[in-house]
Amino acid sequence: MNQSVQTRTAGARNSTEEGLPLPMRRVAFIQSCWHKDIVDRCRDAFLLAMEEGGLNRDSIDLYEVPGAFEIPLLVKKLAASRHYDAVVASGFVVNGGIYRHEFVADAVISGLMRVQLDTDIPVLSAVLTPHHFHEHDAHQAFFAGHFEVKGREAAAACLAVMNPSYGEPVAR
């Protein structure tokens, strides 16, 4: 999927939870489209929590890929562009009755970690691999709610790693 990288908006203000100005920050959020209705819940919760945490919505670029297996390559391209202070990935890798889902989940998480270590750009994961998932109402509702929680958690982690004090000692 071709998407242009937006430039920073002049005059936009970002702040920490304490209301102190943050340097301009830019975040990329990538999501897979398998079970999109469920994964969208993560994106929506993430966006809301980021705004509540002080990052303007126009500082977050949204991307989609077909499935979770395609996430690491786009994460790599976006991190290497140096246009983003953090990249967040969200996807849903389910067991379709064969063992393949475990390989996909491992490849995705390993790829995300490698990108983070190779580029020094924080990469956060809300890629979930449930033990059991069936497409009936109870599981749909449970995982939709779970993705909302994971979206808020990803936002909290994202705000933390973009905070100017990240990596500083907490005590001496």
| 172: annotated active-site residue | no
- Give bridge partners of residue 30 from the DSSP assignment: 63, 89
- How far apart, in whole angstroms, are the C-alpha atoms of residue 130 and residue 67? 16
Tokens standing for residue 115: 């990108």
User: Which residues are annotated binding-site positions?
Assistant: 34, 68-70, 92-94, 125, 139
Mutual orientation of helices 36-52 and 137-162 as an angle, nearest 10°? 30
Closest CA to 76 of 28, 26, 128, 25: 28
Q: Which residue has the tokens 């808020």?
A: 152
List the catalytic residue out of 8, 26, 100, 114.
100
Angle subtended at Cα 2 by Cα 96 and Cα 129, rounded to the nearest 5 degrees: 25
> How many C-beta atoms surround the C-beta of residue 134 within 10 A?
11
Annotated binding site for (2S)-2-hydroxy-3-oxobutyl phosphate, which residues? 139
Name the region of 97 (left: φ>0; alpha: ψ -120 to 50; beta: rest).
left
Q: Output the known binding site for 5-amino-6-(D-ribitylamino)uracil.
A: 34, 68-70, 92-94, 125
Which active-site residues does the annotation give?
A: 100
